[in-house]
Chains A and B, each alone.
Chain A
Amino acid sequence: MFELQGDVVLDRAVLDDAPVDSTAVGVRAALLQPLAEVGDYDVMALRDGRIRVRVTVTVVPDAAAPQLTLDLAELEDQPSVAGRYVIREGGIVSFAVGHGIRRYAVLVQRASAAGTRTVLDTREHLPAGAMFAVTLVSTGGHRAANLANQTELRIAVDAPQQGEPYSPARPTVVRAGDGGFEPAPVQMLVGQAIVLIADTPARFVVEPPAS
């Protein structure tokens, strides 16, 4: 006999198997951007054309943290938690959405004496070095594409079999270059994430099987 207590709400957005696009980060996607140069970065998350989140990430040579994850939905809901973030030189900032249906475009700019330079603008192409990760929540033949060079990748997603070793926390990594995706095609298990690494400017879309 059991009794569920506490307020527990299933995040239905997680189950939304709609196509995912690197121009806007949603709940099943994450965008990872290396920040190679030391300095201050102005990080903005935009939704419906308006800036909803704005934080500063400072890259220093000797910071302890090599990676920083920013939950854009949480930062929008609780601006007070936003602050000044510090990561190590060459570290990676992950942009994610922890819950809900909101999607954000991400703009990262670095200000220097020479002026302001855009490091990342997801509304345009992702720069080489950026990574786009998507957790796949349905079985069947998925398709990933780099719309920047019209290459595509077939992804076969299977359900875990009973008794079969299964580790969803083991992403499948695919590089996306001028010649297409490598390795290709790929086979995965549902609940796993695929990471598309842009070796060339890219705009990724990941689509579920055609219904």
Chain B
Amino acid sequence: MPHLTVAASEAVFAKTLELVVDAVGFEPAGSHDFGAFRAGYDGRLVLAGGDVELRSDGTIRLHELDARWEKLELRLVLELPQLQIGGGCFDGPLGGVVCLPAVTLFRGSPRVAVTIDLAPFVRHELTLVGTPRVDYFDPATSPFTERCQQVHTALDIDDTKTQWRVYCDPQTIDFDPFDLADTAGDLLVDAFSAAIEALLPPGLGVIRDAVFAAIGSIGDLVRTLLDIPDDIAEWLSDLFNVSFGLFNLVLQFVADFFGRCVSFYQLDDPYPVFPATDTLLAVSVPIEDLQATVDDLELVVTANVGE
């Protein structure tokens, strides 16, 4: 029979989750070179809400966590096509096709960087099922990521002491992939329209109208420049899910966050029993063999007091 038994109810877990999610701030950034253009992103993901369910199969279920982007900026840098007028081909007077050189409006490379914030268009829901994992924390030797350190600072967690820590180690994570609405694609087209309009100053007069008429649909131009087969919003979703790999990065972050960074229960080792007085030294006892189990009512932590 263990010397020490501690039980934490679902309500305690829920309160801990509430504190923990408030401290979550995942700030991924990255870029990818597609040859014809370069794409990069800069985001900040936060969590909110969520419920805890302790289950009879020994697992902990965190569900209905809202994963919301406070910022999700997409930056595309590409060369716009040389804007031309005139040119074209006609049937030559002696047979064959004769082509005219077109008139180019600009010298140099009209490169444009377009930045759009897709945060309002993306919302995920997160559900996680995990099992209690006991870890022994030693400030001198335990690995600790910089991101995790920031979270600990935000939560005012004392990382100077050796401790037993109980994490919710994720076994499965359900996270909605990026699925951007058509309005996100419209935002991209609008940004490109503005860039091309800026490239064609009003002083161009009627030629400006002619160039716009020649371009036709800016949406088609964007699809051509970015080699998008059809649906811009679908392409944007694939960009984040696959090309940037942001979907997997978020999963990894969530797994690390709950499984290795923020514990739901911790116990100092050695555990203080009596504080020091004027005449007596402080008394503490070593904690050994800590174990954690879950049933549908509570998390039960047991341990022995060492010699």
Contacts and interface: CB of A to CB of B under 8 A. Distances in A.
A1 B214 contact: no
A8 B214 contact: no
Contact of B100 (A7, A175, A191, A195): A195
B112 interface: yes
B108 A169 contact: no
A169 B194 contact: no
B213 A166 contact: yes
A4 B210 contact: no
Contacts of B114: 1-3
B210 A190 contact: yes
Contact of B115 (A2, A34, A135, A160): A2
Interface in A30-68: 30, 32, 34, 66-67
Contact of B103 (A28, A173, A190, A195): A28
A113 interface: no
Interface in B190-211: 191-192, 194-195, 198-199, 201, 203-207, 209-211
Interface string A3-20: 111111111001100000
A60 B195 CA distance: 47
A168 interface: yes
B88 interface: yes
Interface stretch (A78-86, A92-100, A115-123): A92-100
Contact of A168 (B110, B198, B199, B210): B210
A43 B101 CA distance: 18
Interface stretch (B40-48, B56-64, B91-99, B153-161): B91-99
A96 B103 CA distance: 9
Contact of A32 (B98, B107, B199): B98
B87 interface: yes
Given A27-B103, A96-B101, A166-B210, A193 B94 contact: no
A32 B101 CA distance: 10
B271 to A, nearest CB: 56
A3 B96 CA distance: 44
A205 interface: no
A166 B199 contact: no
Contacts of B108: 6-9
Interface size band for A: 35 or more
A27 B105 CA distance: 10
Contact of B112 (A5, A96, A131): A5
Contacts of A32: 98, 100
B88 A3 contact: no
B60 to A, nearest CB: 43
B111 A6 contact: yes
A189 B100 CA distance: 17
A34 B79 CA distance: 36
A162 B204 CA distance: 17
B94 A197 contact: no
A135 B205 CA distance: 15
Given A135-B85, A167-B214, A197-B93, A1 B191 contact: yes
A197 to B, nearest CB: 5
A168 B85 contact: yes
A210 to B, nearest CB: 17
B42 to A, nearest CB: 13
A127 interface: no
A11 B201 CA distance: 12
Contacts of B110: 4, 6, 8
Contact of A1 (B89, B92, B115): B115
Interface in A194-208: 195, 197
B105 A10 contact: yes
A197 B100 CA distance: 13
Given A3-B113, A190-B210, A131 B85 contact: no
Interface of B: 77, 79, 85-94, 96, 98-116, 191-192, 194-195, 198-199, 201, 203-207, 209-211, 213-214, 216
23 contacts: A1-B191, A3-B115, A11-B106, A11-B107, A14-B103, A28-B86, A32-B100, A34-B94, A92-B98, A96-B101, A133-B100, A135-B87, A160-B210, A160-B213, A162-B213, A168-B85, A169-B88, A173-B91, A175-B93, A189-B210, A190-B206, A191-B211, A193-B88
Interface of A: 1-11, 14-15, 27-28, 30, 32, 34, 66-67, 69, 71, 90, 92, 94, 96, 98-99, 129, 131, 133, 135, 137-139, 159-160, 162, 164, 166-171, 173, 175, 189-193, 195, 197
Q: Lowest 9 CB-CB distances: which A-B pairs, in order?
A: A135-B86, A191-B210, A169-B88, A160-B213, A6-B111, A191-B85, A2-B195, A166-B213, A96-B101
